[in-house]
Amino acid sequence: MEIGEERVIIRSDLNDNPMSAAYILTETQNDRIMMEVINPENGSHEFMFEGYFENKDKITVVHTPDGAAEETSELIRVDNIAEEIERKRLQEIEEEEIAKDEKNRLQIEKEKELAEEKERERLIEKEKKELAKEKEVSQEQHANVNSVQAKYLQIADDLEDGIMREAKELFAHDMQAGFYGQFYSEWDNLLNEVWGVLNETMPKNEMEILTSEQIEWIELKEHNFAEMPDEPASERARGSDYLAFETKERTYYLIENYMN
């Protein structure tokens, strides 16, 4: 807007066709000014704005034809309109660049957040796979332990079943004293084999406790055997049966309670 002494020229761009009209500037009672332009076609007065001088170079606009103006509405004096238009153009370019940079920054942050989220998901998935693998290994180990237990239970059952079949073939009713004692070495060998497996697989502290219990069991077995009479021969036979039975029971005890 170019305000001369008698006319006002209004343009939206330096190169467009300006509108020129006479104007009337009126000072109101509240120290404000009101500007009206005279329509060149019909001579009517058309209200442009009402405002006040903030200082010699700036007019604050308070009313426009559309009603009350925004607080930021103002007219600022410029010495060269071409320079002002160029300044505003450069300012708009700068603002566009700032907006573009901000958009790029937000895009980079978004991509970074997406990358971090993907990394978190990858780590979570990795952890799930590791836990699944650990569970699988644990199940395999458990299955292996159970298979070892089942293996030695089967060996013990086969030994016992073989002894009972032979006893049934030899004796119609009661097993003869001393017959079971013949298999003491078989049970003792199996007990030692089970003990060797436990020694390799059990935690050291648990094995130490079990070893103390095993020593006590051996001492008690030998003590009870020593207390048995040597005469007559039937009593010695019962003593050998005692050793075989006790060793069998201890073998089953260790398999069932510690191979798990």
Q: Is the peptide bond before 229 cis (omega within 30 degrees of 0)?
A: no
Q: What pLDDT, on the 0 to 100 scale, is given for residue 16?
A: 62
For the record, the structure tokens of 181 come out as 């004692």
pLDDT digits (tens, 9 = 90+) for 60-76: 888 888 888 776 677 77
* pLDDT in the model for residue 150: 94
pLDDT computed for residue 133 by the predictor: 79
A 10 A CB-CB count for 107 gives: 10
Q: What is the DSSP secondary structure assignment for residue 18, as one 8-state letter? A: -
Q: Is 218 in contact with 225 (CB distance < 8 Å)?
A: no
Tokens 């050998």 -> residue: 240
pLDDT at 148: 93
21 within 8 A of 39, measured Cβ to Cβ: yes
Instruction: Say what the pLDDT of residue 71 is.
Output: 67
Q: What is the pLDDT of residue 183?
A: 96
Say how far apart CA 177 and CA 4 lie, in whole Å.
141
Per-residue pLDDT, 251: 98
Residues 6 or more apart from 241 whose CB is under 8 A from it? Answer: 177, 178, 179, 180, 181
pLDDT 10s per residue in the chain (260 long)?
778 778 888 776 555 677 888 999 888 878 899 999 999 889 899 898 888 888 888 888 888 888 887 766 777 777 776 777 788 889 999 999 999 999 999 999 999 999 999 999 999 999 888 888 777 765 555 555 579 999 999 999 999 999 999 999 998 778 899 999 999 999 999 999 999 999 999 999 999 999 999 999 999 999 999 998 887 887 889 999 999 999 999 999 999 999 97
User: What is the structure's pLDDT at 13?
Assistant: 59
pTM (two decimals): 0.47
**C-alpha atoms less than 13 angstroms from C-alpha of 255 in its C-beta half-sphere:** 23
